[in-house]
Amino acid sequence: MKVEYSKAFVKAVRKLSGKVLDSVRNAIQGVMEARCIDEITDCKKLVGYDFVYRIRIGSYRAFFTFHVHIENDVVMFEYLLPRGEAYDKKNQEKLRRIDE
């Protein structure tokens, strides 16, 4: 699959180091190698959203949108957040806006 990144996601990844950064890189590599969404490890579609999914990466959650196009499948990584912040109302509102 083709992978793209939002500015917020890139900014969050730049702050990481060590095992967490390696885990994020491995998760992204897994997405790139996957032929369909079901092949991505620890990936779940969020309830109440049409195009938003999350990947569990240790104590972090990577949120991404997935839109199927005729020519190619594109995964857009939107946010990378610690688990405690991932499901706050503020972040849920951000996800609702990108789900449109």
Per-residue pLDDT tens over the stretch 30-72: 999 988 888 888 889 889 888 889 999 988 999 888 765 545 6
- Assigned token pair, 36: 């369909």
Cα–chain center distance at 89: 18
Question: What letter represents residue 86's amino acid?
Answer: A
Query: How many structural domains does the chain have?
Result: 1
Please tell me the predicted confidence (pLDDT) of residue 55. Answer: 92
Residue 10 has pLDDT above 90, yes or no: yes
Confidence of residue 97 (pLDDT cuts 50, 70, 90): confident
Look up the CATH number of the domain holding residue 68. 3.30.2310.20
Confidence of residue 84 (pLDDT cuts 50, 70, 90): confident
CB-based contacts of 95-100 (< 8 A; 24+ apart in sequence): 95/46, 95/49, 95/52, 95/63, 96/49, 98/52, 98/65, 99/49, 99/50, 99/51, 99/52, 99/65
* Domain that residue 53 falls in: 2-98
